[in-house]
Amino acid sequence: MPIETTQDQIFYHINSTANASKHDLMRRGNIVDVGRESNPFFGFYETWQRSYSVRNKKTDTTEAVPPIQFLRRVKDKDITLDDPNILPQLSLEIGQHFMMLARELVWETVRLNEFPEAPSRQRCIWLTRTVEQAREWAPRMNLDPKLQPQTYWIVSLRATGKAFEADGSFLAGDAELLPVWHEKARQYWLGEKSASPQTEVLFNGTVEVVDIIGA
């Protein structure tokens, strides 16, 4: 498993305010201890309750309902939407939300049971070794500087701690049999490489912001 100990090594990071992050964008000189608490990616599932505003047909009042109840009541035609055309998009959004949560829980279970020395995806910071790799990840994260100005930028970091290089193409992106997920998780944590790798570095330790690269 490709884990390395780093000392003042330069990496690159896509710093974003996505996932309802409680952190401002990084600035030069910022020092961050990574690994003690959930990162914004997983913290999103711990602190943000997904809900949808709908109108109850019977009472003619507006309600905020959780996602599964929302879909069930749409099916039962118990509620109305201001824009019914948005339903396919919301349905995909809900499906992706729960698929990604399930994936992260499975990947963490496999890590804890078989690869406990690797940094956790729930508490790490994601890095790349080059600016080009960081820019390749931006569209995979649905980040676009033209559509989201000042919501993210790439920073260079000086990192001291533990780094694990993985191939993000092994991350599950759809519903599959659980044994298939377990095998993909093992390939991920073993550090195996696919034919078209999406290289990412999971890091725990201390990082210092060296420079703001931009989008």
Lowest mean pLDDT of 19-28, 40-49, 144-153, 186-195, name the range.
144-153
Q: Give the burial string for 38-66 (b: 16+ CB within 10 Å, else e).
A: ebbbbbbbeeeeeebebeeeeeeeeeebe
CA dihedral angle for residue 91, residue 94, residue 95, residue 99, rounded to 10 degrees: 170
- The encoded tokens of residue 103 equal 């994936």
* C-alpha separations of 33 from 1, 74, 120, 210 in Å: 24, 44, 14, 15
Res. 187: pLDDT tops 80: yes
Please report the pLDDT score of residue 151 as a whole number: 76
Give mean pLDDT, residues 131-154. 78
- Give me the phi and psi of 178, to 5 degrees please: -60, -40
What rounded mean pLDDT belongs to the chain? 90
Q: Give the burial string for 115-126 (b: 16+ CB within 10 Å, else e).
A: beebbbbbbbbb
- The encoded tokens of residue 195 equal 């034919």
Q: Which of 22-31, 73-82, 128-137, 161-170 has the highest mean pLDDT?
A: 161-170
Give mean pLDDT, residues 188-215. 94
Please report the pLDDT score of residue 146 as a whole number: 61
Please report the pLDDT score of residue 169 as a whole number: 95
Q: Rounded distance, CA 168 to CA 71, Å?
A: 31
pTM score? 0.87
